[in-house]
Structure 1
Amino acid sequence: MATPTTKKPRLQEQRKALPDGPGVYLFRDGKGKVIYVGKAKSIRKRVNSHFTKTSGRPQSAGHADMVRAVQDIQCLLVSSETEALLTEQNFIKQYRPKFNIRLRDDKSYPYIAISMDEPYPRVYFTRERHRRNRLYFGPYSSAKRVRNTLDLLTKVFLFRSCTGAEPGRRSGSPCLDYYIKRCGAPCVGYVSQEEYRESIDGVVAFLSGRFKEVERDLERKMKAAAAAQEFEQAALERNRLRSVQALLEKQRVSNEAVGTLDVVAIALEGTEANAQVFQVRDGVLSDRQSFYLENVAEADVGEVALEFLLQYYGEGISVPPQVIVQHELEDLDVMAELLAERRGAAVEVRAAERGDKRRLLDLALRNAKLALDQEKLKSERRRQQRVEALDGLQDALGLDTLPLRIECFDISNLMGTHTVASMVVFEGGAPKKSDYRRFKIRGAAGIGKPDDFASMNEVLSRRYAQWETQQDLSPHDPARNESFATLPNLIVIDGGKGQLSAGAAALQGFLDRGVAVISLAKRIEEVFVPGRPQPILLRHDTPELQLLQRVRDEAHRFAITHHRQRRDAAMTTSILDDLPGIGAARKRTLLNHFGSPEAVLSATREQLEAVPGLPGKTARELYTFLHRTSG
């Protein structure tokens, strides 16, 4: 069993043995989980700096927590600083360490995607960025920005946005988009594949910021149509050109010579950081984005900027020829080399000292500082609202203590199948997702005999049993689970009197230790308390009821998600596992390609033969089997 005193000599020996060269190091906790990844010109000096207090720089609480948690150090020597930077990022993506600087993942950023693997590519709004054979542009500052951009592009380039009939046919009628001049109708053969690809090239040029190229091309088409006396077509091209020019004029910066670049400014204050990115394309400010970063307390602006650039310019993101930062970075040359590799051409990363670029940088920095100030105000308002909700809840329920830790339980099933339960945790009135837990119901309710009362009794009995088990473990034991080891102040059960009775019977040990238990019924939001015949009715506009509703709804969402995963996995197994010549790897390949088991079963022979990685013979045998089975 490891304790702070017994682990210290081992760490000291590991630190003494560290090499004095460039590379990457990993900190692991008592469970072997990677909690921090770092890079250094000298691994030994950098690692030792984590464990050495300096008088000029007080150690933050987060950094102190990390140092206390470290029980093992590993390192990897590399041949260059560029390789160290790249290896560090690969490890961060792989392990998602708790204490590394990272973008706050509080939303899915919007992108524009182009399906380049299709003969007639679609251009569409998306919030994911992982599909193969997709060209992604973004992230954009808002969904509204994406939709406005797509609205303009459909008018100018007439691409398809639907997932309807497969393009390339020579029959049928076009949809409304064709008649209102928002699509060229490739679905009925009005546009050849070559002509359509030319339109997509225009979309790519526009989204890449090559605005002058787009303007020249539209002007050329307008003049060509006029010369051929196709005056209606010439008027259409003129209107498209004017639409593009009107948009660009509104966003043009003071000097077109600024060119194509990104301006990146970082504001850092205490434990908070904000990054602003101004995207300038052909002298036009095409978008402005704001990002918040976590785990920055021990970093300076240069370190935060470097980590932000590495994460922002990830896979699928277009890198401009120049990136302007607020001051010279320590690894500036290495960063430029890495971005050049991602762009496929030279990239200059430098600070701006004067001129229009400096003015843009100053503007971005002011926006970053303003964003931090606004976030502080919002955080303070949220904190006050949570305090009011907790105080109100204590008064309304007559609790002895403030319900700082609330656990909520919910049961989910579909006609008695795949019954699961969820436990969500709120601390200080906010979700603590690291403590969320899921349970697979083991009793009769878990094998097709629906009984929500029995299910609730089972899951709460297991919760209490887990708490008892954890009390026998040392706080430093790797087997200890803090989610179960911590005693809640309040347990909320999703349901009415019946669920509460089932839960209270299982939680007598908790009740004897002062833990309060209630249930919340959905119909009119009645709050039931053990030993009280009548429910408590809270006003719907009170923060205490709104907190209970958030907790209950989150437990329901978490349970439903887990239930769907189990149900879908069972369906996939039952449908695909009997197919001849299809093992686990090929099953994943088919599902990734078609999207669902049902789509696999209805696929044509040609579609099966087109699946990457599936041999033609296997595809034909599979089609024959499915056809014989369905016939």
Structure 2
Amino acid sequence: MESLEDVIRRAPTSPGCYVWMRKPITKDKQANQKQEWEEVLYIGKARNIRKRLQQYLHSKDYKTRFFIRQAKHVDWVVTANEAEALLLESNLIKKYSPPYNIRLKDDKRYPYICVSTGEMFPRIFITRRRKNPAHTYFGPFTDVKAARNVMSWIQKTIPIRQRNTKLPSKKPLTPCLNYHIGRCLAPCAHKISQDEYAKLVEQVIDLLSGNFEKARSKMFNQMQEKSKQMKYEEAAAIRDRIRDFDLVLASRKADVESGQDHDNFDVIGVYGNLEENIFVEEEIPVRKNIFQAEVTLLRVRGGNVVNKASLAVSEYTLPISTESEQKKEITKLMSEILESCFREFYWDLPDLPDKIILSERLFPASLWEKLIKRKWQKEVQILLRKSAGEKESLVQMAVENARLTLRERLMREYTRRAKLGLKQIQEMLKLPKLPETIECYDISNIGGKHAVASGVMLKNGIPYKAGYRRYKIRTKDTPDDPAMMYETLSRRFARIAKGEIAPPDLIVVDGGITQLKAALSARDEKNLSIPIISLAKKQEEIYMEQGEILQQDKNSPGMKILRLARDEAHRFAVQYHRLLREKISDSRQNAANR
């Protein structure tokens, strides 16, 4: 099998796309012109394919080095120019979803509003898949509730049918309740012609496209036409629809830059950061060097914010390097995220704005402008926030929305994992109830001197700082961790026995069997029945009261919670011990200076 260096040496110097794969292509597949790549790792584009591939072999980038170690083959497709390469790259990424390309999570789950323009009498409904190319789709919406709100708004103003009935029917059908309450004109009962119904469909599409004034103008002209034809009842019905339209529109009006700007534009705000920087003050554990990001899209049509969409980005592990190198890597990631957004938001969406304002730099911005013009025959200007002028406040709003959505999503994910972990702990330790409150204790001293203990509390798997306690050891000044643990828990259990504080659902002590026996002795003296275990550091072994020793997967959700409690107790004890030593040292220094 050829080495990667040999394969790259014969790569063309033309523009095009390249595909890194985990699996080499067999001779049979090479001979097949319609071959399908297998186990695709990464897809990229380049002005010079050979030069770009050679850079991969000598890259210092963490992600690049990681997937190159897995790559067994690389293939390429030559294109006429860079714009063609970007077009091909977008199609290939959508088809193969490579793991090392930036991915937007759950992109196929977001709901769309469909107007079934492929039918003679179109209806309006919510769907999560764009199956029929003859239909017209609007979205994606952030959730079903947002889509239903828009649906309700449309139904209040335009009586388009909703039921999934095959039309036209040979014989008139019996109208449903929607007809009797004015929400449908009953094409199923042959009460409206196809031409008249088509005018309603146009108005629906105008509204969903953000062309509110155009839709209202069409309704107004239709009302006047009916009035001239002396069809006063139909004219009155349209008048009522215009009134409802004005009321609903007034409630949805957005104050977009003092209400004077009626451009059609989109704002894309991206927020990305390391977990430890996202949660600075919150009492939840964070993973080091994990990059998380969120995207918020605001669609503004005719001066109205008509849709807000949020998409999560797959997490990414940054290399442990200098702060400047991490910043450079984050800048690169932000640009890749924006490329993914363009593939998701604008590749198959006909509702294109005049401008797209970005919070971060999109490096092939000019190529995307050419590509959009080529596909949709529409000029779209891509701007950075510094060129947004008065609209910069909307960019800030989009970024802030992305930040808040990201925090909420990560908190929700952690809470879900914590619930699963607590359930695992209950089953693993055979506890009578879910350990919603866990306390953990540790000792810190040097040769028995300045000995202290710490007690930390976790509520629902999350550190609860109000429940943290520090103890000075009073009875020992020689190395004896079990005796110190006995003293600490005796003091704690005395308060529980008196009813001063509520007992926890589980107590964890940092150490082995001797620390566990000391804790059990302190508990039994107070006639309490709180479950106690000890957790040893080296092998991550759990010592049970009955003498059983458990070894579990240290990365399971349950063990992660127990290790978090143990490590947090250790950190808190060491912190207090250092603080105490510094105070003693300072007091001795002050005494010597007198």
TM range (shorter): 0.5 to 0.7
Change (3 A) 1:67 1:391: farther
Q: Deviations over 1:582-609 (max 9, x none)?
A: xxxxxxxxxxxxxxxxxxxxxxxxxxxx
Match of 2:62 in 1: 59
SS at match of 1:257: coil
Q: Deviations over 1:389-424 (max 9, x none)?
A: 333332239xxxxxxxxxxxxxxxxxxxxxxxxxxx
Structure 2 counterpart of 1:37, which letter? I
1:303 and 2:336 correspond: yes
Q: Are the aligned partners of 1:274 and 1:290 in contact in 2 as well (CA < 8 Å)? A: yes
The Cα of 1:354 is off from its aligned counterpart by 4.3
Deviation readout 1:106-161 (Å, 9 max, x if unpaired): 76111111222211112211111132311111111221222222223233221211
1:375-524 correspondence to structure 2 within 5 Å: 375-396=409-430
Q: Distance in 2 between matches of 1:73 and 1:171?
A: 62
- How has the CA–CA distance of structure 1 residues 170 and 195 changed in structure 2, closer, same or farther, with 3 Å as cutoff? farther
Per mean C-alpha deviation after superposition, the further-off stretch among 282-291 and 85-94 is 85-94
3-state secondary structure, aligned to 1:276: strand
* CA deviation map 1:449-478 (0-9, x unaligned): xxxxxxxxxxxxxxxxxxxxxxxxxxxxxx
Shift of 1:28: 0.8
- Match for 1:200: what amino acid? V
How far has the Cα of 1:333 moved from its partner? 1.4
Contact 1:155 1:181 in 2 (8 A): no
Q: Which residue does the alignment assign to 2:139? A: 138
Find 2:264's aligned residue among 234, 256, 260.
260
Task: Give how far 1:46 is off.
Answer: 2.9
Task: Describe the SS at the equivalent of 2:44.
Answer: strand
Report the residue type matching 2:358 in the other structure.
Answer: V
Count of residue correspondences? 389
Once the two structures are superposed, the pairs formed by residues 6-25 of structure 1 within 5 Å of their partners are 10-25=3-18
Q: CA deviation at 1:231?
A: 5.1
Secondary structure of 1:184's counterpart equals: coil
Over aligned residues, Cα RMSD in angstroms? 2.8
Residue in structure 2 matching 1:369, options 381, 400, 403? 403
Shift of 1:68: 1.6
Kindly tell me: are residues 206 and 394 of structure 1, through their superposed partners in 2, closer, same or farther at Cα, counting changes over 3 Å? same
In structure 2, what is the Cα distance between the partners aligned to 1:152 and 1:176? Answer: 18
Tell me which of 360, 364, 377 is aligned to 1:344.
377
Quote the residue 1:190 is aligned against: 191
Match among 23, 37, 49 for residue 43 of structure 2:
37
Out of 270, 282, 287, the position equivalent to 2:307 is 287
Inter-CA distance 44–295: structure 2 relative to 1 (3 Å threshold)? farther
User: 2:204: which partner in 1?
Assistant: 203
CA distance in 1, matches of 2:309, 2:163: 28
Relative to structure 1, the CA distance from residue 172 to residue 71 in structure 2 (aligned partners, 3 Å threshold; closer, same or farther) is: closer
1:102–1:308 Cα contact (<8 Å) kept:
no
* Residue segments in structure 2 that go unaligned for 5+ positions in a row: 25-37, 275-290, 319-328, 432-556, 559-594
Shift of 1:277: 0.5
Q: Distance in 2 between matches of 1:309 and 1:159?
A: 32
Partner of 2:157: 156
Q: TM-score, structure 2 length as denominator?
A: 0.60
* Contact 2:114–2:124 (CA under 8 A) maintained in structure 1: yes
Q: TM-score, normalised by structure 1?
A: 0.57
Describe how 1:351-362 pairs up with structure 2 within 5 A: 351-352=384-385, 353-362=387-396
CA contact (8 A) 2:97 2:103 kept: no
Identical-pair percentage: 28
SS of equivalent residue, structure 1 residue 220:
helix
Aligned with residue 312 of structure 1, among 345, 356, 360: 345
1:537 is matched with none
Partner SS, residue 353 of structure 2: coil
Q: 1:303 to 1:10 in 2, by over 3 A?
A: same
Letter in 2 for 1:379: E
Is 1:248 matched up with 2:254?
A: no
- Segment drifting more, 344-353 vs 173-182: 344-353
Point out where structure 1 has 5 or more consecutive residues left out of the alignment. Answer: 1-6, 398-542, 545-631
2:524 corresponding residue in structure 1: none
Tell me the CA shift for residue 22 of structure 1: 2.0
Determine if the alignment matches structure 1 residue 278 to structure 2 residue 298: yes
Matching residue's letter, 1:294: S
User: Per the alignment, do residues 69 and 332 of structure 1 end up closer, same or farther by CA in structure 2, a change over 3 Å counting?
Assistant: same
Shift of 1:287: 1.1
Give distance in 1, aligned partners of 2:145 and 2:137.
17
